[in-house]
Structure 1
């Protein structure tokens, strides 16, 4: 257990940052799930609007260090291609 003043402060800071990161990660996953659900229903307009809402959340998560920038870009790219594919099959 931390026994210096600075170590105790560091523990408090880490706990606060962990809680914030957990919220951001959860929000990111929720928005991704909304896009996935819209894709599974086959409604392209709903999927496009869900993707438009999810993209800034994903990129902000990358900016804040929740996920790597390339990871966020890859997720956006793959979701975009799946949404685009909905229009081709219909």
Structure 2
């Protein structure tokens, strides 16, 4: 448990930041799920559109510090590869 006033303030700040980051992460996951669903349905046009919507969301989360840059790049790369594989 935090003893000093500054430690207590840091706990409050962490709780707020955690809530915001959880919301951001959830939003990104929603966009990624849309891409996954489109890939599962086999519709290339819908999958490509969903990926184009998901990519800026993922990179926005990177700029906010929710994800690491390489993690986001890897996810985008793998999803785009799967989109291209749809015939």
Q: Name the TM tier (shorter chain).
A: over 0.9
TM-score (norm 2): 0.94
Unaligned stretches of 5+ residues in structure 1 = none
- 1:24: how far off? 0.7
Aligned equivalents of 2:15, 2:50: Cα separation in 1: 32
Unaligned stretches of 5+ residues in structure 2 = none
- 1:3: how far off? 2.4
* Superimposed CA distance per residue, residues 8-54 of structure 1 (whole angstroms, 9 cap, x where no aligned partner): 11111000000011111111111111100001101111111110110
| Aligned 1:47-86 pairs, distance under 5 A | 47-86=47-86
2:47 aligns to what SS in structure 1?
helix
Aligned to 2:44: 44
Please give the root-mean-square deviation of Cα atoms over the aligned residues, in Å. Answer: 0.9
- 1:56: how far off? 0.5
* Superimposed CA distance per residue, residues 31-84 of structure 1 (whole angstroms, 9 cap, x where no aligned partner): 111100001101111111110110001111111111110110010011111111
1:18 aligns to what SS in structure 2?
helix
Aligned to 1:17: 17
